[in-house]
Every structure is written in C-alpha cells, then in structure tokens.
Amino acid sequence: MTQPLSAFQHLPASLFTAAAVRELDQRALTDEQIPAFELMSRAGQAAFGCLLQRWPTAQFLTVLAGPGNNGGDAYVVAALAAIHGLDVNFYTLGDHGQLSEASTRAREMALAAGVEVKPWAGVLERDSDLLVDGLLGTGLNKAPAGELAELIEQINSHPAPVLALDIPTGLHADTGCALEPAVRADLTVTFVAMKQGLLTADGPDYCGDIAYACLDIRPAVLKSMAADVERIGYQVLAERHEGLAARRGNVHKGRYGHVLVVGGDEGMGGAAAMACEAAARSGSGLVSCATRGSHAQAILMRRPEVMVKPVVSGLELLPLLERASVLAVGPGLGQGSWGELLLQQVLQSDLPVVLDADALNLLASPGWRQAFGERQVIMTPHPGEAARLLDVDIRTVQNDRFAAARDLASRYSAVVVLKGCGSLIAHPDGRVALCSDGNAGMASGGMGDVLTGVLAALLAQGMDAWQAARWGVCLHSAAADRAAHENGLCGLLATDLMPWLRRLNNYITH
C-alpha cells in the first residue's frame, strides 16, 4: 500500500532547496567550525544507525558510491558496516580519482576498515540483503544515462530493499521530479535539512519512508536561514490552534456565514451536491446551491439542510448573491453558456470566493483572465487546470510545482492551492506551504468538490483566504487519511470524508 503522506508528520517544518542546503552546509563549516569530513562522518553514522534500526538482521550489504560527496557518505557507511562485522560489496561509479578532500578521507576510512573498493562491472549480485544508494545526492544536474541508468534499473529490479543516502539518486531535490530512471528507495535518510522535493510530486513514491538527521548542527544555524517552503499538516496546525476557534454558547447561524455553491450543469449535479454537503459539515451556518432545476430534488433528498435554487440565467443569481457571504464556484459548472453566464455574475461580486474546476477552465479562456486584487480568492487547480491557466502543458506544471503555484498566485493575486501529491498552497506574496498529509486514495472523482466546500465554509466562518487554504487543505487531506485507514486507499470515496471533516474540524482526533 502506498504510504499515506501523514506518515511524514514528524519531519521538520522548514523545507529548503538544494542551494539553500549547500549554504547551510557552508554555515556549519564557517560558523560552527565543523569540517566537511566531520559532517560527512556524521551523515554516514546517522544513516548506518537507521540501517541497523530498520534492518537489524541484514548481513550482506551492497553499497554503491558516486563521484561526489554523496559517494563520500557511502564510503563512511561501508566503513562502519565492515567494522560492525557485516559483509560489504562496495562498487564505485564515475571517476573516483578526483574525489573531494572529505570523500578522499572517507574512502581511506573504508579501505582501512577492510572494504574492498571496486568499480561497478555491470552486474549487481542477487544475494545482498540490502542496497545502499550513495550514487548521487543534491548534486544531480541531469537525468541519469549510460551505465548509471543501467545500475539504477538493476537496483530497482533487485529483490533487496534500498536505503538512499540524502535523496534517492535521480530524484530532483528542488522539484520532486524523478528524472528517470531514478532509484526507488524503501527508506531515505536525509541530512542537514529537509529538501522541498522529498514531499511533493514523485518525492514520496521514490523516498519511501523518510528519516531526518540534522547532524548535530545547532538549531540557531538551521534557523539562520529562512525556509523556502513551510511543511504543514493537520497535526501541526491543530497543535497551534490554527483551525476554528471554539464556539461560544450565545450564537446563531448568521454568525457562521452563508455559502452559496454555484455549479452542477446537466449531468454533473453530484459535484455541486458534494461541495454543499462538505460546506455544511465544515460548519457553514447556511448553505445554498444555485444549480440546474433537474438536480434540485436529488440534492434536497440527500441534504435537506441545503437551500437549492434552480437557476437558468445569471440574472437569477443576483438575489442569491445578495444573501450569501461566500461563494464556491465551479464544481460541475461546465463550460457551456449556462456556466459562463453564472461565472460572469460571480466575477462582478466582491464576496470572498473559492474558484474550482470549470470556473478555472473558463477563467483560462482568452478574454477572461484577471487579477483579483483585494478580494479574498482561493483558486484550487489540479495540475491540468493549472496548466490551462498558465497556458503551458501539464508536464511543465509538474516539472516544477513550486514555480507553477507561485506564478499563479502572483498572476491572479489570489491564494492558490495546487492539488495533487503534496498539495502546495501559494500566497501572492511568495510564501508557499506544502501539505504532507493526504494519500493516493484521493485520486478519485469528487475529492476536489469536497475541498471546495470545505474552503468556502472556513471563509464563511471568518478565516482569510490564506488561513482557510492552509487549514482546509490539511483538514481535507487528514480526513482522507483517517477515512482510508481501515479499508485502504483503493475505493476511497469523496463522501467518505464527511464524518471525518466534522470530527477533525472540531479537533476530535480519535
């Protein structure tokens, strides 16, 4: 079963690019007077400690070392393993005649421990208990090719588990893109600081479990650099009470806002229905739905609390807009003239709004583009919608999700949630948060409609767009993790999240 991302909740909140981690290494060297070889030794020790803990019975190791400092870490691991009495096959790839000073010392350490260092000759023996990937780390600058690619293919088809040092070879530390072929690890021990690419896009699939080793660098040094990205999750935000404030006794429904869901063209009524139910379950005082008349009865049957208004034109929306406090526009809206007319009215209002699905597809069309200025706006594109909004292909979005999210937030002057594995939340001022909760069971129809309803309800209860997006994305992902916990990822339905949304929004975690 794919690892639910919430398994990463113990990891630090600060995420960095590879360049920032190099700068931190440098500060450890200059401010802390930790020599490069000392840092490398600590990296090797941390990794070997994790190895013993995770695979205590492993006896035959194959350790693979590239020509950079990642290879240096591998020499240290091999030396410690040999000293510990394990059998080590050690293979080098690339030119080890030009090693850095630290890696040269690590190599000497391995040789002194009796490790036999051999260039890889094209075959990986099948009898190893464990493979250690020290081929490339944060220095990866192109997709692996030639004998490196061949070795990676052999690692991935080998029956033994894989421990990756710092980052699996081939995974890009900044973007989380696997530059294929890339090593698929079972455990990645990452050093000094968390790289932002470990937790989004391909990152979680290629890293397996992640252990973080700060290498005893003082927290003051680590804090001396602003994080590029903040990792968030339900537990972190709940501990900081970033969710809803407790309700007072003497209140009435008007205090908690009125969400108007606009969507549900012919054949897509369920999308609007799910957004409505999610808004109601996330605490909106009132929920209305402007939709096609053909869906009214079905939505009422499912949720009689929702005020369903059949609309055939944008003008019929006007009185509804007057009564609403927040809009959720897009689920099942379609891209026909009905959806266009409704969206035009919505864009003329200045109510806080969540824009999703076909509202985003329409906004991407020529003549519709606009920046929202002061209005509280959350846009929730999946990578396909983001690609249309940016007028690029989906691969370009996924090749650098951080850049795409930042670009959209700045272009539209809106808070943007770029959905998918490791959802990103971008503020127009450049801040980005990454939600490390969520799971692959969420790749099923309707999940985004539920998120739209959640976010609208949080806006209706007084959060601003940035607060609502942070809490809402974590709430939605954690609800999916809870819902998937008992019966697994496959077959998870969007409506399965409803009871969990309510519980977790009320801080009931059991």
Ligand X SMILES: NC(=O)C1=CN([C@@H]2O[C@H](COP(=O)(O)OP(=O)(O)OC[C@H]3O[C@@H](n4cnc5c(N)ncnc54)[C@H](O)[C@@H]3O)[C@@H](O)[C@H]2O)[C@@H](O)CC1
Ligand Y SMILES: Nc1ncnc2c1ncn2[C@@H]1O[C@H](COP(=O)(O)OP(=O)(O)O)[C@@H](O)[C@H]1O
The annotated binding site for K(+) is made up of 70, 133, 169
Rounded least distance, CB 200 to ligand Y, Å? 10
Alpha helices in 67-174 (DSSP H): 69-83, 101-112, 146-157
Span 343-362, contacts to ligand Y by CB under 6 A: 357
Indicate which of ligand Y, ligand X, K ion, none lies near residue 142 (CB less than 5 to 8 Å, by partner kind). ligand X
Q: Which stretch binds ligand Y (CB under 6 A): 240-248, 390-398, 418-426, 495-503?
A: 418-426
Q: Which stretch binds ligand Y (CB under 6 A): 129-137, 219-227, 444-452, 497-505?
A: 444-452
Indicate which of ligand Y, K ion, ligand X, none lies near residue 447 (CB less than 5 to 8 Å, by partner kind). ligand Y
Indicate which of ligand Y, K ion, ligand X, none lies near residue 451 (CB less than 5 to 8 Å, by partner kind). ligand Y
Is 448 a binding residue for ligand Y by CB under 6 A? The answer is yes
Indicate which of ligand X, ligand Y, K ion, none lies near residue 133 (CB less than 5 to 8 Å, by partner kind). K ion
d(CA 379, CA 45): 45
Rounded least distance, CB 53 to K ion, Å? 19
Indicate which of ligand X, K ion, ligand Y, none lies near residue 73 (CB less than 5 to 8 Å, by partner kind). ligand X
Is 188 a binding residue for K ion by CB under 5 A? The answer is no
Indicate which of ligand Y, K ion, ligand X, none lies near residue 257 (CB less than 5 to 8 Å, by partner kind). none
Spell out, one character per residue from 480 to 509, where the chain touches ligand X: x when CB under 6 A holds, - when not: ------------------------------
Is 438 a binding residue for ligand Y by CB under 6 A? The answer is yes
Q: Which stretch binds ligand X (CB under 6 A): 70-78, 316-324, 358-366, 395-403?
A: 70-78
SS3 132: strand
> 72 with 191: CB under 8 angstroms?
no
Indicate which of ligand Y, K ion, ligand X, none lies near residue 169 (CB less than 5 to 8 Å, by partner kind). K ion
Q: Kindly state the tokens that stand for 431.
A: 């801040």
Q: Exactly one of 25, 73, 133, 449 binds K ion (CB under 5 A); which one? A: 133
Show binding-site residues: 69-73, 133, 137-143, 166, 169, 271, 332, 382, 419-423, 448-449
Backbone angles phi, psi at 229, to 5 degrees: -145, 145
> 500 with 453: CB under 8 angstroms?
no
Q: Exactly one of 41, 128, 169, 461 binds K ion (CB under 5 A); which one? A: 169
Closest CA to 454 of 504, 403, 383: 504
Strands (E), 244-376: 258-262, 286-291, 307-310, 326-329, 353-355
Is 490 a binding residue for ligand Y by CB under 6 A? The answer is no
Query: Which residue type is seen at 115?
Result: V
Inter-CA distances, 233 with 200, 401, 436, Å: 13, 18, 6
d(CA 257, CA 461): 6
> 289 with 329: CB under 8 angstroms?
no
Half-sphere exposure of 484 (CA within 13 A, CB side): 27
- For the CA atoms of 166, 427, 179, 191, the dihedral, rounded to the nearest 10 degrees, stands at 0
SS3 195: strand
Is 423 a binding residue for ligand Y by CB under 6 A? The answer is yes
d(CA 468, CA 474): 10
SS3 424: strand
Task: For the beta carbon of residue 395, count every other beta carbon within 10 angstroms.
Answer: 10
Q: Which residues, in sequence order, are bridge partners of residue 103?
A: none
7 vs 52 by CB, closer to ligand Y: 7
Rounded least distance, CB 65 to ligand X, Å? 9
Indicate which of ligand X, ligand Y, K ion, none lies near residue 498 (CB less than 5 to 8 Å, by partner kind). none
> 174 with 196: CB under 8 angstroms?
yes
Span 150-209, contacts to ligand X by CB under 6 A: 165-166, 191-192
107 vs 419 by CB, closer to ligand Y: 419
Tokens 């739905």 belong to 289
Task: For the beta carbon of residue 157, count every other beta carbon within 10 angstroms.
Answer: 8
Is 25 a binding residue for ligand X by CB under 6 A? The answer is yes
Spell out, one character per residue from 149 to 188, where the chain touches ligand Y: x when CB under 6 A holds, - when not: ----------------------------------------
d(CA 202, CA 217): 28
Residues near ligand X (CB under 6 A): 25, 36, 39-40, 43, 66-73, 136-142, 144, 148, 165-166, 191-192
Query: Which parts of this chain interact with K ion (CB under 5 A)?
Result: 70, 133, 164-165, 169
